[in-house]
A and B are shown apart, each in its own frame.
Chain A
Amino acid sequence: MDARILLVEDDPSIREVTVIGLSAAGFAVTAAPDGVEGLERFRSDPFDLVLLDVMLPRLDGYEVCRQIRRTSTVPVVMLTARADTMDVVVGLEAGADDYVRKPFEVPELIARVRAALRRAGRLPDETDNLQLGPLGIDVAGRAVSRDGVDIPLTRTEFDLLLELVRHHGQVLTRDVLLDRVWGYDYLGDSRLVDVAIQRLRAKIETDPAAPELVLTVRGAGYKAAR
């Protein structure tokens, strides 16, 4: 595997050991010590995935993520010191696909990186168009529209919507969604799902406070309306 990874991390020890671990796992790693340099590297070379520390000198990880998202759909995984809901929300809003909580063990990080790469490289297995109420979903084009107007969704939001619509009417637990959309087993943080659902609703529902398309099933999970 020769996937190219950009690692932006300010602590030299963490940066070095992460580079060693990822390289040993077969990734081609480029490392940058701060946000500005990370962004420069991203613009000059192509990458398959970006690992972004949140607390970075000069330009923080969220801002770097936002800048990357203007031009690219490359998977971004945040490295966050605290896994509070706020951090998750801000990260997802900035366009991140996933986050890894510090401290992390290198094998754990590699598993998450592989999961994110797998998802990004996943080919659409359907070419037809799906419908959810007023929403039209172009699976091959990865585009969603409502009454002819395009709704810009992040990769994660699109995958989440697609998973729900494919099983419309059926309850999907948070664990199942974590597994199928994020591609890894339940690690105890189902808030990722809740936050992503809220973000998705804000974009597709007419009234996100009274959702009609993506419904919450108390105590169980979520489902798409029939």
Chain B
Amino acid sequence: MPSVIRGVRARLTVTIVALVVLTAAVLGIGSYLFVDTSLHQQARDEAAAQARFDLSVIAPSRLVSTPPTAAEIQGLQDAFHFRNLDTIVDDGSGPVITSLSGTPLPGEMVRLVDQGQIAYAWMSVNGQPSLVVGGRSGGTGPAVYFIRDEAALEATLDQLRLALGVGALVLAILAIVAARFLARGVLAPVEAAGRAAERIERGDLSARVPVTSDDEFGTWADRFNRMAAALDDTIGRLESAQDQNRRFVADVSHELRTPVSALVAEASILRDHLGDLPQASRRAGELIVDDIARLRTLVEELMELSRFDAETEEVELRPVDVSRLIRDVVAARHPDAVLELPDDRVVIESDPRRLERILTNLLGNARDHAPGALVVVRLRAAAGQVSITVADRGPGVPADRLARIFDRFFMADPSRRGGSGLGLAIAREHAELLGGHLHGRNRDGGGLAIELVLPVTGSLRHGDPAETGEDEPEGR
């Protein structure tokens, strides 16, 4: 789960917002219902009190006949009309309906009124919310219904609903903002630690987490920082020890360089005069010449590795005709090797000096590792990469030690005299500098194969001859 922090933040936010919205909803709906109920109650009580008075005092004075005449009913209606009350009087002619809208009054209400009680009903009359209150005139006379327009009450309730709705929305938005803010605050130490860990991962061991509080996060940040400091300290000590080591090797090989230079020059003269020496000292002379050559190689290879360690090496890229380079190096270093080159020229952007060095060392390894055995040098060009394999028919390397053949001073067979043990390590450094890599494997049928794989960045694989230079323009 890559986004734990985001997930936690979202969960925190959702929880807080849900709590706030729920609380607001309960409070809002509750208070609305309370207001709604009490307003209706109040209106009903008022209407009932008024109706009682009207039915006992005003209606009997107007409705004298039984059943009342149309003129009496009209008179009553006119009288109440001045008070903004529509009035219906049951003249015994049939089911009581509202005179204006045709909506029948609820049967239950009519029944209660017939029994002599005062009854009421909330209903819509002509599209207006209204309270209808009914009773019998004088307690036993004709039924009279008063229609009270309660639009004002409903408008008040509408306003209240709107206010509560808007309030809830504002509250929800505030809750979201506050929750995000809160979540960020709570998670800030976690994110700071995440950033610090990322910096440490990238190698910046000075990264620390700010300790901003006394709580669990503070304790945890403090512990994190102590761990980072310990790591920094340990790695610093290891690095300085390694630096010292490398400086020592660089210094030693550098100091050896001058005497080795003298020895090489001296040996080159001695070699020309070995024949003049008496038999007993001639052999010693031969050994000295050979050993000085070995010493020279060792010192030069140590210096080469020191330069890699100092990271001062630079790559000089240019188009390289790999096929031609292989032919040249093999001809110079291991003329007996069998070449397997593709028909097409293979041209890549690379550093020819380094390629030559890698190939020389691989061939040198094959020669030392498998003296006299058949060596095959194979070039393969595939999409995006080029591989050069140097394969011998020597004893190979035990599988468990195969991964170590590129280590410095690794010898597959320590009893064999030969290379310095640095050739493959140097080849690997060069290969990595070129963006490629080396790996070894044991061949079917015996022998070791080391493959150099190089990335091809440019589209130079089938570069035309004019671009990449045909064979020399004229003989040398």
Residues of A bordering B, CB below 8 Å: 11, 13-14, 17-18, 20-21, 24, 81, 85, 102-109, 167, 170-173, 175-176, 179, 188-191, 217-221
Q: Is the CB of B260 within 8 A of A103?
A: yes
Q: Which residues of B contact A220 (CB under 8 A)?
A: 467-470
Q: Which residues of B contact A217 (CB under 8 A)?
A: 467, 469
Given contacts A11-B258, A14-B261, contact A21 B469 (CB under 8 A): no
Name 27 interchain pairs, CB-CB below 8 A, sorted by A: A11-B261, A13-B266, A14-B262, A14-B265, A17-B265, A17-B266, A18-B265, A20-B269, A21-B268, A21-B269, A85-B316, A103-B263, A107-B272, A109-B265, A173-B472, A176-B472, A176-B476, A179-B476, A188-B353, A191-B353, A219-B319, A219-B321, A219-B468, A219-B469, A220-B468, A220-B469, A221-B469
- Expressed in whole angstroms, the Cα–Cα distance for A156 and B314 within the complex equals 26
One of B264, B319, B473 near A104 (C-beta < 8 A): B264
Q: Is the CB of A105 within 8 A of B469?
A: no
B337 near A: Cβ within 8 Å? Answer: no
Q: Nearest residue in B to A170 (C-beta to C-beta)?
A: B473
Q: Most A CB atoms within 10 A — which of B257, B267, B296, B472?
A: B472
- Expressed in whole angstroms, the Cα–Cα distance for A147 and B476 within the complex equals 35
Q: Which residues of A contact B264 (CB under 8 A)?
A: 103-105
Q: Which residues of B contact A17 (CB under 8 A)?
A: 262, 265-266, 269
Q: Is the CB of A188 within 8 A of B269?
A: no
Q: Is the CB of A104 within 8 A of B476?
A: no
- Expressed in whole angstroms, the Cα–Cα distance for A14 and B470 within the complex equals 43
Q: Is the CB of B265 within 8 A of A106?
A: yes
- Expressed in whole angstroms, the Cα–Cα distance for A18 and B261 within the complex equals 11
B463 near A: Cβ within 8 Å? Answer: yes
Q: Which residues of A contact B257 (CB under 8 A)?
A: 81, 102-103
Given contacts A172-B473, A218-B319, A218-B468, contact A107 B268 (CB under 8 A): yes
Q: Most B CB atoms within 10 A — which of A18, A109, A188?
A: A188
- Expressed in whole angstroms, the Cα–Cα distance for A145 and B101 within the complex equals 118
Q: Nearest residue in B to A194 (C-beta to C-beta)?
A: B316
One of B314, B319, B467, B472 near A175 (C-beta < 8 A): B472
B132 near A: Cβ within 8 Å? Answer: no
Q: Which residues of A contact B268 (CB under 8 A)?
A: 21, 105-108
Given contacts A13-B259, A14-B265, A106-B265, contact A219 B320 (CB under 8 A): yes
Q: Is the CB of B265 within 8 A of A175?
A: no
Q: Which residues of A contact B260 (CB under 8 A)?
A: 103
B347 near A: Cβ within 8 Å? Answer: yes
Number of B interface residues at 8 Å Cβ cutoff, please give it.
35
Q: A13-B259, A173-B469, A176-B473 are in contact. List 8 more A-B contacts (CB 8 A).
A: A11-B262, A13-B262, A103-B257, A103-B261, A103-B296, A104-B264, A171-B469, A176-B476
Q: Which residues of A contact B356 (CB under 8 A)?
A: 188
B380 near A: Cβ within 8 Å? Answer: no
Q: Which residues of A contact B259 (CB under 8 A)?
A: 13
- Expressed in whole angstroms, the Cα–Cα distance for A221 and B319 within the complex equals 11
Given contacts A102-B261, A103-B264, A175-B472, contact A219 B467 (CB under 8 A): yes
B318 near A: Cβ within 8 Å? Answer: yes
Q: Is the CB of A104 within 8 A of B472?
A: no
B342-360 interface bits toward A, Cβ cutoff 8 Å, 1 = contact, 0 = none? 0000010000110010000
Task: Determine how close the nearest CB of chain A comes to the CB of B471; give it in whole angstroms.
Answer: 9
Task: Determine how close the nearest CB of chain B comes to the CB of A126; give it in whole angstroms.
Answer: 18
Q: Is the CB of B258 within 8 A of A14?
A: yes
Task: Determine how close the nearest CB of chain A comes to the CB of B264; give it in whole angstroms.
Answer: 4
- Expressed in whole angstroms, the Cα–Cα distance for A1 and B151 within the complex equals 132
Nearest 4 pairs of A and B residues by beta carbon: A220-B469, A219-B319, A105-B268, A13-B262
Q: Nearest residue in B to A110 (C-beta to C-beta)?
A: B268
Q: Nearest residue in A to B257 (C-beta to C-beta)?
A: A81
- Expressed in whole angstroms, the Cα–Cα distance for A217 and B321 within the complex equals 13
Task: Determine how close the nearest CB of chain B comes to the CB of A103; give it in whole angstroms.
Answer: 4
Task: Determine how close the nearest CB of chain B comes to the CB of A167; give it in whole angstroms.
Answer: 8
Task: Determine how close the nearest CB of chain B comes to the CB of A109; give it in whole angstroms.
Answer: 8
B321-334 interface bits toward A, Cβ cutoff 8 Å, 1 = contact, 0 = none? 10000000000000
Task: Determine how close the nearest CB of chain B comes to the CB of A90; give it in whole angstroms.
Answer: 16
Q: Nearest residue in A to B262 (C-beta to C-beta)?
A: A13
Q: Is the CB of B318 within 8 A of A219?
A: yes
Q: Which residues of A contact B347 (CB under 8 A)?
A: 219
Q: Which residues of A contact B463 (CB under 8 A)?
A: 219
Q: Which residues of B contact A173 (CB under 8 A)?
A: 469, 472-473
Q: Nearest residue in B to A107 (C-beta to C-beta)?
A: B268
Q: Which residues of A contact B316 (CB under 8 A)?
A: 85, 191
Q: Nearest residue in B to A102 (C-beta to C-beta)?
A: B261
Q: Nearest residue in A to B295 (C-beta to C-beta)?
A: A103
Q: Which residues of B contact A172 (CB under 8 A)?
A: 473
- Expressed in whole angstroms, the Cα–Cα distance for A86 and B260 within the complex equals 23
- Expressed in whole angstroms, the Cα–Cα distance for A170 and B466 within the complex equals 11
Task: Determine how close the nearest CB of chain A comes to the CB of B362; give it in whole angstroms.
Answer: 16
Q: Which residues of B contact A188 (CB under 8 A)?
A: 353, 356
- Expressed in whole angstroms, the Cα–Cα distance for A139 and B447 within the complex equals 59
Task: Determine how close the nearest CB of chain B comes to the CB of A193; give it in whole angstroms.
Answer: 12
Task: Determine how close the nearest CB of chain B comes to the CB of A196; give it in whole angstroms.
Answer: 15
Q: Is the CB of B269 within 8 A of A106?
A: yes
- Expressed in whole angstroms, the Cα–Cα distance for A58 and B141 within the complex equals 142
Task: Determine how close the nearest CB of chain A comes to the CB of B427; give it in whole angstroms.
Answer: 16
- Expressed in whole angstroms, the Cα–Cα distance for A81 and B262 within the complex equals 12
- Expressed in whole angstroms, the Cα–Cα distance for A109 and B269 within the complex equals 12
- Expressed in whole angstroms, the Cα–Cα distance for A190 and B328 within the complex equals 14
Q: Which residues of B contact A14 (CB under 8 A)?
A: 258, 261-262, 265
- Expressed in whole angstroms, the Cα–Cα distance for A173 and B319 within the complex equals 13
Task: Determine how close the nearest CB of chain A comes to the CB of B105; give it in whole angstroms.
Answer: 104
Q: Which residues of B contact A106 (CB under 8 A)?
A: 265, 268-269
Q: Which residues of B contact A24 (CB under 8 A)?
A: 269
Q: Nearest residue in A to B347 (C-beta to C-beta)?
A: A219
Q: Which residues of A contact B353 (CB under 8 A)?
A: 188-189, 191
- Expressed in whole angstroms, the Cα–Cα distance for A85 and B467 within the complex equals 25
B219-262 interface bits toward A, Cβ cutoff 8 Å, 1 = contact, 0 = none? 00000000000000000000000000000000000000111111
Given contacts A103-B260, A172-B473, A176-B476, contact A218 B467 (CB under 8 A): yes
